[in-house]
A = this chain, B = another copy of it.
Protein backbone atom coordinates (compact mmCIF):
# COMPACT_ATOMS: atom_id res chain seq x y z
CA UNK A 1 0.00 0.00 0.00
CA UNK A 2 3.03 2.29 0.06
CA UNK A 3 2.82 2.79 -3.68
CA UNK A 4 -0.64 4.23 -3.39
CA UNK A 5 0.18 7.88 -3.07
CA UNK A 6 2.66 7.62 -5.88
CA UNK A 7 0.14 6.26 -8.36
CA UNK A 8 -2.47 8.95 -7.91
CA UNK A 9 -1.70 12.24 -9.54
CA UNK A 10 -1.39 14.87 -6.81
CA UNK A 11 -0.91 17.70 -9.30
CA UNK A 12 2.05 20.06 -9.31
CA UNK A 13 2.79 22.41 -6.43
CA UNK A 14 4.54 25.74 -6.77
CA UNK A 15 8.00 24.28 -6.22
CA UNK A 16 7.42 21.74 -9.02
CA UNK A 17 7.50 24.48 -11.66
CA UNK A 18 10.63 26.00 -13.19
CA UNK A 19 10.88 28.68 -15.82
CA UNK A 20 11.53 27.07 -19.19
CA UNK A 21 9.95 23.77 -18.13
CA UNK A 22 7.84 22.19 -20.90
CA UNK A 23 4.87 19.98 -20.09
CA UNK A 24 3.19 17.72 -22.66
CA UNK A 25 -0.30 17.32 -21.31
CA UNK A 26 -2.31 14.12 -21.44
CA UNK A 27 -4.83 13.12 -22.97
CA UNK A 28 -5.18 13.88 -26.68
CA UNK A 29 -8.85 14.33 -27.53
CA UNK A 30 -10.70 13.94 -30.82
CA UNK A 31 -13.45 16.47 -31.40
CA UNK A 32 -16.64 15.10 -32.96
CA UNK A 33 -20.12 16.11 -34.09
CA UNK A 34 -21.20 14.89 -30.68
CA UNK A 35 -19.31 17.78 -29.12
CA UNK A 36 -21.07 20.25 -31.39
CA UNK A 37 -24.46 18.84 -30.41
CA UNK A 38 -23.67 18.90 -26.70
CA UNK A 39 -22.36 22.43 -26.96
CA UNK A 40 -25.66 23.43 -28.53
CA UNK A 41 -27.62 21.60 -25.83
CA UNK A 42 -25.72 23.28 -23.02
CA UNK A 43 -25.34 26.82 -24.41
CA UNK A 44 -28.02 28.80 -26.27
CA UNK A 45 -25.76 29.38 -29.25
CA UNK A 46 -27.14 30.33 -32.64
CA UNK A 47 -24.19 31.73 -34.60
CA UNK A 48 -24.77 30.62 -38.17
CA UNK A 49 -21.28 29.35 -38.99
CA UNK A 50 -21.07 26.65 -36.31
CA UNK A 51 -24.82 25.98 -36.58
CA UNK A 52 -24.93 25.26 -40.30
CA UNK A 53 -22.49 23.38 -42.50
CA UNK A 54 -24.20 24.92 -45.50
CA UNK A 55 -23.79 28.46 -44.17
CA UNK A 56 -20.16 27.78 -43.24
CA UNK A 57 -19.47 26.51 -46.74
CA UNK A 58 -21.08 29.62 -48.18
CA UNK A 59 -18.42 31.74 -46.44
CA UNK A 60 -15.55 29.46 -47.41
CA UNK A 61 -15.26 27.23 -44.36
CA UNK A 62 -15.18 23.55 -45.33
CA UNK A 63 -15.24 21.22 -43.43
CA UNK A 64 -17.67 22.56 -40.87
CA UNK A 65 -15.86 24.14 -37.90
CA UNK A 66 -17.10 23.92 -34.33
CA UNK A 67 -17.18 27.04 -32.14
CA UNK A 68 -13.76 28.40 -31.30
CA UNK A 69 -14.56 27.98 -27.62
CA UNK A 70 -14.97 24.22 -28.08
CA UNK A 71 -11.35 24.07 -29.14
CA UNK A 72 -10.35 26.40 -26.33
CA UNK A 73 -12.11 24.39 -23.63
CA UNK A 74 -10.74 21.06 -24.87
CA UNK A 75 -7.23 22.48 -25.07
CA UNK A 76 -7.55 24.22 -21.70
CA UNK A 77 -8.94 21.15 -19.95
CA UNK A 78 -5.77 19.25 -20.75
CA UNK A 79 -3.70 21.71 -18.75
CA UNK A 80 -5.74 21.46 -15.54
CA UNK A 81 -4.21 18.26 -14.08
CA UNK A 82 -0.70 19.57 -14.64
CA UNK A 83 -1.06 23.28 -13.99
CA UNK A 84 -4.03 24.15 -11.83
CA UNK A 85 -5.06 21.11 -9.83
CA UNK A 86 -3.67 22.82 -6.72
CA UNK A 87 -4.57 26.29 -7.83
CA UNK A 88 -5.96 28.76 -5.34
CA UNK A 89 -7.18 31.02 -8.09
CA UNK A 90 -7.17 31.41 -11.84
CA UNK A 91 -5.74 34.91 -12.08
CA UNK A 92 -5.83 35.84 -15.72
CA UNK A 93 -5.52 35.14 -19.43
CA UNK A 94 -3.62 37.02 -22.11
CA UNK A 95 -2.48 36.72 -25.70
CA UNK A 96 -4.99 34.01 -26.59
CA UNK A 97 -5.24 33.64 -30.35
CA UNK A 98 -7.27 31.26 -32.46
CA UNK A 99 -5.06 30.15 -35.33
CA UNK A 100 -7.09 27.55 -37.21
CA UNK A 101 -10.66 26.27 -37.09
CA UNK A 102 -11.30 22.97 -35.32
CA UNK A 103 -13.41 20.50 -37.27
CA UNK A 104 -14.87 17.16 -36.26
CA UNK A 105 -12.19 14.51 -36.54
CA UNK A 106 -9.43 16.80 -35.34
CA UNK A 107 -7.39 15.50 -32.42
CA UNK A 108 -6.08 18.19 -30.09
CA UNK A 109 -3.01 18.06 -27.86
CA UNK A 110 -1.73 20.77 -25.56
CA UNK A 111 1.81 21.63 -24.51
CA UNK A 112 2.66 24.28 -21.94
CA UNK A 113 5.83 26.14 -21.12
CA UNK A 114 6.40 27.80 -17.78
CA UNK A 115 7.19 31.44 -18.56
CA UNK A 116 7.06 33.06 -15.14
CA UNK A 117 7.21 32.41 -11.39
CA UNK A 118 6.75 34.66 -8.41
CA UNK A 119 6.46 33.43 -4.85
CA UNK A 120 3.95 35.34 -2.77
CA UNK A 121 5.12 37.18 0.32
CA UNK A 122 3.18 34.75 2.54
CA UNK A 123 5.61 32.01 1.52
CA UNK A 124 2.78 29.54 1.12
CA UNK A 125 1.69 30.21 -2.45
CA UNK A 126 3.09 31.51 -5.67
CA UNK A 127 2.02 32.64 -9.09
CA UNK A 128 2.85 30.49 -12.10
CA UNK A 129 2.65 31.84 -15.64
CA UNK A 130 2.37 29.34 -18.49
CA UNK A 131 2.03 29.67 -22.21
CA UNK A 132 -0.04 26.84 -23.63
CA UNK A 133 -0.27 25.78 -27.24
CA UNK A 134 -2.80 23.35 -28.67
CA UNK A 135 -2.06 21.59 -31.92
CA UNK A 136 -4.07 19.31 -34.14
CA UNK A 137 -3.09 15.95 -35.62
CA UNK A 138 -1.20 17.69 -38.40
CA UNK A 139 0.86 19.64 -35.90
CA UNK A 140 -0.84 22.93 -36.80
CA UNK A 141 -1.40 25.37 -33.98
CA UNK A 142 -5.10 25.69 -33.22
CA UNK A 143 -5.09 28.04 -30.26
CA UNK A 144 -2.48 29.37 -27.84
CA UNK A 145 -2.71 31.53 -24.76
CA UNK A 146 -0.94 32.64 -21.63
CA UNK A 147 -2.50 32.29 -18.23
CA UNK A 148 -1.40 32.71 -14.67
CA UNK A 149 -2.62 30.94 -11.60
CA UNK A 150 -1.92 31.11 -7.90
CA UNK A 151 -0.71 27.69 -6.73
CA UNK A 152 -0.10 26.24 -3.29
CA UNK A 153 3.41 25.36 -2.22
CA UNK A 154 3.86 21.81 -1.03
CA UNK A 155 6.05 23.08 1.75
CA UNK A 156 6.35 26.60 3.12
CA UNK A 157 10.02 25.83 3.73
CA UNK A 158 10.87 25.35 0.06
CA UNK A 159 13.10 28.17 -1.16
CA UNK A 160 11.62 30.83 -3.38
CA UNK A 161 12.64 30.66 -7.03
CA UNK A 162 14.01 33.64 -8.85
CA UNK A 163 11.11 35.93 -9.74
CA UNK A 164 10.35 36.07 -13.42
CA UNK A 165 7.31 38.05 -14.51
CA UNK A 166 6.74 37.71 -18.23
CA UNK A 167 5.85 40.68 -20.37
CA UNK A 168 2.38 40.03 -21.74
CA UNK A 169 0.50 42.29 -24.09
CA UNK A 170 -2.62 44.03 -22.81
CA UNK A 171 -4.28 43.35 -26.11
CA UNK A 172 -3.61 41.25 -29.19
CA UNK A 173 -2.75 43.62 -32.01
CA UNK A 174 -5.29 43.55 -34.86
CA UNK A 175 -2.53 42.73 -37.36
CA UNK A 176 -1.80 39.57 -35.34
CA UNK A 177 -5.35 38.23 -35.57
CA UNK A 178 -5.52 35.12 -37.74
CA UNK A 179 -8.41 34.99 -40.18
CA UNK A 180 -9.36 31.38 -41.01
CA UNK A 181 -8.05 30.38 -44.41
CA UNK A 182 -10.69 30.89 -47.07
CA UNK A 183 -13.06 33.02 -45.00
CA UNK A 184 -14.96 35.38 -47.30
CA UNK A 185 -17.94 37.29 -45.92
CA UNK A 186 -18.62 39.40 -49.01
CA UNK A 187 -21.75 37.47 -50.01
CA UNK A 188 -22.85 36.96 -46.42
CA UNK A 189 -26.54 36.08 -45.91
CA UNK A 190 -27.67 38.50 -43.22
CA UNK A 191 -31.18 37.05 -42.95
CA UNK A 192 -29.85 33.55 -42.37
CA UNK A 193 -27.36 34.86 -39.83
CA UNK A 194 -30.13 36.38 -37.80
CA UNK A 195 -28.94 39.91 -37.13
CA UNK A 196 -29.09 43.10 -39.17
CA UNK A 197 -26.09 44.87 -37.63
CA UNK A 198 -22.74 44.68 -39.38
CA UNK A 199 -19.27 46.05 -38.67
CA UNK A 200 -20.13 49.63 -39.60
CA UNK A 201 -23.17 49.66 -37.33
CA UNK A 202 -21.12 49.34 -34.14
CA UNK A 203 -19.41 52.32 -32.48
CA UNK A 204 -16.60 52.30 -30.00
CA UNK A 205 -18.07 52.89 -26.56
CA UNK A 206 -21.45 51.44 -27.45
CA UNK A 207 -22.96 48.96 -24.98
CA UNK A 208 -25.39 46.22 -25.91
CA UNK A 209 -27.70 44.62 -23.38
CA UNK A 210 -28.13 40.98 -24.41
CA UNK A 211 -31.40 40.88 -22.46
CA UNK A 212 -31.91 37.13 -22.00
CA UNK A 213 -31.09 35.20 -18.83
CA UNK A 214 -30.28 31.56 -18.21
CA UNK A 215 -30.53 29.88 -14.81
CA UNK A 216 -27.70 27.44 -14.07
CA UNK A 217 -28.10 23.81 -13.02
CA UNK A 218 -25.46 21.50 -11.57
CA UNK A 219 -26.11 18.76 -14.13
CA UNK A 220 -25.45 21.06 -17.06
CA UNK A 221 -22.25 22.69 -15.84
CA UNK A 222 -20.83 19.34 -14.76
CA UNK A 223 -21.58 17.80 -18.15
CA UNK A 224 -19.94 20.71 -19.94
CA UNK A 225 -16.89 20.71 -17.73
CA UNK A 226 -16.46 16.95 -18.03
CA UNK A 227 -16.75 17.18 -21.78
CA UNK A 228 -13.56 19.23 -21.72
CA UNK A 229 -11.92 16.63 -19.44
CA UNK A 230 -11.40 19.34 -16.85
CA UNK A 231 -10.80 17.45 -13.61
CA UNK A 232 -10.78 20.19 -10.97
CA UNK A 233 -12.79 18.62 -8.16
CA UNK A 234 -14.50 21.82 -7.01
CA UNK A 235 -16.73 21.54 -10.07
CA UNK A 236 -17.96 18.03 -9.37
CA UNK A 237 -18.10 17.26 -5.68
CA UNK A 238 -20.21 18.69 -2.91
CA UNK A 239 -17.39 17.61 -0.59
CA UNK A 240 -14.86 19.97 -2.15
CA UNK A 241 -16.01 23.23 -0.59
CA UNK A 242 -17.15 24.03 2.94
CA UNK A 243 -20.48 25.32 1.64
CA UNK A 244 -21.24 22.10 -0.25
CA UNK A 245 -21.78 23.96 -3.49
CA UNK A 246 -20.19 22.95 -6.77
CA UNK A 247 -18.25 25.84 -8.28
CA UNK A 248 -19.14 26.46 -11.92
CA UNK A 249 -16.11 26.25 -14.25
CA UNK A 250 -15.26 29.77 -15.35
CA UNK A 251 -15.25 28.68 -18.97
CA UNK A 252 -18.89 27.67 -18.61
CA UNK A 253 -19.76 31.29 -17.90
CA UNK A 254 -17.64 32.41 -20.86
CA UNK A 255 -19.50 30.11 -23.23
CA UNK A 256 -22.88 31.02 -21.80
CA UNK A 257 -22.20 34.75 -22.09
CA UNK A 258 -20.85 34.36 -25.61
CA UNK A 259 -24.00 32.46 -26.64
CA UNK A 260 -26.26 35.08 -25.04
CA UNK A 261 -24.39 37.78 -26.99
CA UNK A 262 -25.97 36.46 -30.19
CA UNK A 263 -28.91 38.71 -29.34
CA UNK A 264 -27.29 41.94 -30.45
CA UNK A 265 -24.10 40.57 -32.00
CA UNK A 266 -25.42 37.85 -34.31
CA UNK A 267 -22.90 38.66 -37.00
CA UNK A 268 -19.89 38.47 -34.68
CA UNK A 269 -19.44 34.98 -36.04
CA UNK A 270 -15.98 34.00 -34.86
CA UNK A 271 -13.92 34.59 -31.75
CA UNK A 272 -10.49 35.73 -32.93
CA UNK A 273 -8.59 36.35 -29.71
CA UNK A 274 -8.93 36.78 -25.95
CA UNK A 275 -7.00 39.77 -24.66
CA UNK A 276 -7.78 39.41 -20.99
CA UNK A 277 -10.27 37.68 -18.80
CA UNK A 278 -11.25 37.85 -15.18
CA UNK A 279 -13.57 35.52 -13.34
CA UNK A 280 -14.69 38.23 -10.98
CA UNK A 281 -16.99 36.17 -8.79
CA UNK A 282 -17.90 32.50 -8.57
CA UNK A 283 -21.10 31.17 -10.14
CA UNK A 284 -23.29 28.40 -8.76
CA UNK A 285 -26.38 26.43 -9.68
CA UNK A 286 -29.43 28.60 -9.21
CA UNK A 287 -27.77 31.76 -10.45
CA UNK A 288 -29.45 33.41 -13.42
CA UNK A 289 -26.77 34.68 -15.77
CA UNK A 290 -27.17 37.67 -18.09
CA UNK A 291 -24.65 39.39 -20.32
CA UNK A 292 -23.86 42.73 -21.88
CA UNK A 293 -21.12 43.85 -24.23
CA UNK A 294 -19.16 47.04 -24.77
CA UNK A 295 -17.39 47.83 -28.03
CA UNK A 296 -13.80 48.67 -27.05
CA UNK A 297 -12.23 49.02 -30.49
CA UNK A 298 -12.69 48.32 -34.18
CA UNK A 299 -10.13 47.19 -36.71
CA UNK A 300 -9.92 46.26 -40.34
CA UNK A 301 -8.43 42.91 -41.23
CA UNK A 302 -7.05 41.59 -44.46
CA UNK A 303 -9.88 39.31 -45.52
CA UNK A 304 -12.83 39.96 -47.81
CA UNK A 305 -15.91 41.28 -46.03
CA UNK A 306 -14.41 40.77 -42.58
CA UNK A 307 -13.95 43.31 -39.79
CA UNK A 308 -12.83 42.91 -36.20
CA UNK A 309 -14.48 44.24 -33.07
CA UNK A 310 -12.77 44.34 -29.72
CA UNK A 311 -15.47 43.65 -27.18
CA UNK A 312 -15.78 43.56 -23.44
CA UNK A 313 -18.23 40.77 -22.64
CA UNK A 314 -19.59 41.01 -19.12
CA UNK A 315 -21.64 38.29 -17.47
CA UNK A 316 -23.68 39.13 -14.41
CA UNK A 317 -25.69 37.31 -11.79
CA UNK A 318 -29.08 38.92 -12.30
CA UNK A 319 -29.69 41.43 -15.03
CA UNK A 320 -27.84 44.70 -14.84
CA UNK A 321 -29.63 47.10 -17.16
CA UNK A 322 -27.26 49.86 -16.10
CA UNK A 323 -24.41 47.85 -17.65
CA UNK A 324 -22.04 49.08 -14.96
CA UNK A 325 -18.75 47.30 -14.58
CA UNK A 326 -17.33 49.20 -11.63
CA UNK A 327 -19.01 49.59 -8.26
CA UNK A 328 -18.79 52.61 -5.99
CA UNK A 329 -15.62 51.34 -4.35
CA UNK A 330 -13.83 51.14 -7.70
CA UNK A 331 -13.99 47.37 -7.71
CA UNK A 332 -16.22 45.33 -9.94
CA UNK A 333 -19.89 46.00 -9.32
CA UNK A 334 -21.92 43.48 -7.37
CA UNK A 335 -23.12 40.65 -9.50
CA UNK A 336 -20.37 40.81 -12.10
CA UNK A 337 -19.17 37.26 -12.79
CA UNK A 338 -16.97 37.66 -15.83
CA UNK A 339 -15.14 40.47 -17.57
CA UNK A 340 -13.77 39.19 -20.88
CA UNK A 341 -11.85 41.39 -23.29
CA UNK A 342 -11.73 39.73 -26.71
CA UNK A 343 -11.70 40.21 -30.47
CA UNK A 344 -14.35 38.86 -32.80
CA UNK A 345 -14.57 38.71 -36.57
CA UNK A 346 -17.77 40.24 -37.92
CA UNK A 347 -19.26 40.72 -41.37
CA UNK A 348 -18.89 44.23 -42.75
CB <8 Å contact, B27 and A192: yes
On chain A, the number of residues with a Cβ less than 8 Å from chain B's Cβ atoms is 85
CB <8 Å contact, B27 and A239: no
A212 within 8 A of B: yes
Task: Annotate A281-314 by CB proximity to B: 1 below 8 A, 0 otherwise.
Answer: 0000010100000000000000000000000000
Which single member of B8, B33, B220, B286 contacts A263 (CB below 8 Å)? B8
Bound-complex Cα distance A207 to B8 (A): 11
Contacts of A34 in B (CB 8 A): 32-38
CB <8 Å contact, B29 and A51: yes
Beta-carbon nearest neighbor of A105 in chain B: B53
CB <8 Å contact, A233 and B217: no
Interface 9-residue window, one of A42-50, A117-125, A151-159, A170-178: A42-50
Within A187-208, the residues touching B (CB, 8 Å) are 191-195, 197, 201, 203, 206-208
Bound-complex Cα distance A30 to B319 (A): 32
A40 within 8 A of B: yes
CB <8 Å contact, B222 and A237: no
Contacts of A223 in B (CB 8 A): 41-42, 220
A60 within 8 A of B: no
CB <8 Å contact, A215 and B236: yes
CB <8 Å contact, B36 and A52: no
Bound-complex Cα distance A191 to B22 (A): 12
Interface 9-residue window, one of A87-95, A126-134, A224-232, A338-346: A224-232
Which single member of B64, B201, B233, B266 contacts A212 (CB below 8 Å)? B233
A180 within 8 A of B: no
Q: Nearest Cβ distance between residue A132 and chain B, in whole angstroms? A: 15
A167 within 8 A of B: no
A109 within 8 A of B: yes
Beta-carbon nearest neighbor of A209 in chain B: B4
Q: Nearest Cβ distance between residue A272 and chain B, in whole angstroms? A: 20
CB <8 Å contact, B288 and A239: yes
CB <8 Å contact, B236 and A213: yes
Bound-complex Cα distance A109 to B6 (A): 42
14 contacts between A and B (CB under 8 A): A1-B323, A4-B264, A7-B265, A8-B211, A27-B52, A28-B192, A32-B33, A32-B37, A33-B34, A33-B37, A33-B104, A40-B227, A213-B236, A213-B239
